[in-house]
Each structure stands twice: as C-alpha cells, then as structure tokens.
Amino acid sequence: TIFAYGTSGSGKTFTMQGDRKSEGITQLICKKLFERIQEVQEHKQFKVKFSYVEIYNEQIRDLIQQGYSSNTKKQTQNLELREDPVKGTILANVTEVQIANCEQIQNLIDFGNKNRTVDATTLNSLSSRSHAVVQIHIQYKDINQGIYESTQFSTLTLVDLAGSEKSGVSSNQ
C-alpha cells in the first residue's frame, strides 16, 4: 500500500498518476508487474483486475462503474466494506475490470478521474476533495502443480489522499 499525503497543489496526484508525458508511481508499478508476469508466464497463470473508487464525505463510490458520470450527476450506490474469508477486507459490488496491459489501466484511470469530486479552493482551482483508491488485484497459481494447485491473491493499493490542510486554510466546502 502506498499513500500520497500533503496539502492541495503539492503534487500528490501527479506523483501517483503522472500524465501522458511523465509516468507516475501507478504506471511504473504497472510496467514492472507486467514485465514480471512475462518472465514467469511459462510456470504461472495470472489474472490481474483493476478497481478505482473515491472516498468522499464518508461514502465510497465506484469511479469506473458502467453508466456513471459526474456530469449527469447520476449517483452510484455507496459501496460497503465486507470480510472475505480468503481475500480479507473487500468492497462489495465494486467494479473489477480484468486487464492485460498498462494502457488499459491508464484508460480506466482517465475515465475514473472524470468522475472524481473536485472543487475550487484557494490553493488549487481543480482540487480533488476526495481520497482516490486504485487497487490492482493479482491472482496467480503455479500451472505445474496439478490438482493440488493453490491460488494466491495479492492486492496493491495506491491511495491519493485529499489535501491535508484544514478546511479554513483552503476555503473548501
């Protein structure tokens, strides 16, 4: 898990997501992940899934849910945290998209960013007022183990926190 923490305008989102010219932590991790999958794919079978949510006013919203758009003000349901006996804490009913490359992740991030809650503050004209949580879920198993194969689960969580300043300093709502 990686958290980006700081005041509005300090570069948290850029550090995590970069842009089309400069890669952020998310893109760099994605590259390494798929390079590693290529190296071991003869012996292991992988599924990689992606989810993207925001936490705003104590509500968890799916940013890549089909049909959701902040422009139409269509609200998604508040997602709930649940305990899974195998995977641990999960978000019930979150959209998980199976991905095969980094470009798919970038496209989903771009789509999700259009749905994030933003508002102008004195520190940043397009300040995100929410915490953004990217999760990359990796499922893998050794393909040579036969009937005794066990599936392993890993989740990489990348969190872009909202500005850390007091609301009076940034004049946010």
Q: Is 146 annotated as a binding residue?
A: no
Q: Which residues contact 37 (CB under 8 A, 6 or more apart)?
A: 44, 46, 48
Q: Is 74 annotated as a binding residue?
A: no
> What contacts 53, CB < 8 A, 6 or more positions away?
60, 61, 62, 63, 79, 91, 94, 132, 133, 135
Instruction: Round to whole Å and give the CA distance between 122 and 40.
Output: 49
Distance between CA atoms of residues 172 and 127, nearest Å: 9
H-run or E-run covering 134: strand 131-142
- Does 12 appear as a known binding residue? yes
> Is 76 annotated as a binding-site member?
no
Compute the distance between CA of residue 70 and CA of residue 81 in angstroms, rounded to an integer.
23
Which DSSP category does 23 fall into? B
Question: Any binding-site annotation on 7?
Answer: yes
Binding residues for ATP: 6-13
Binding site, residues?
6-13
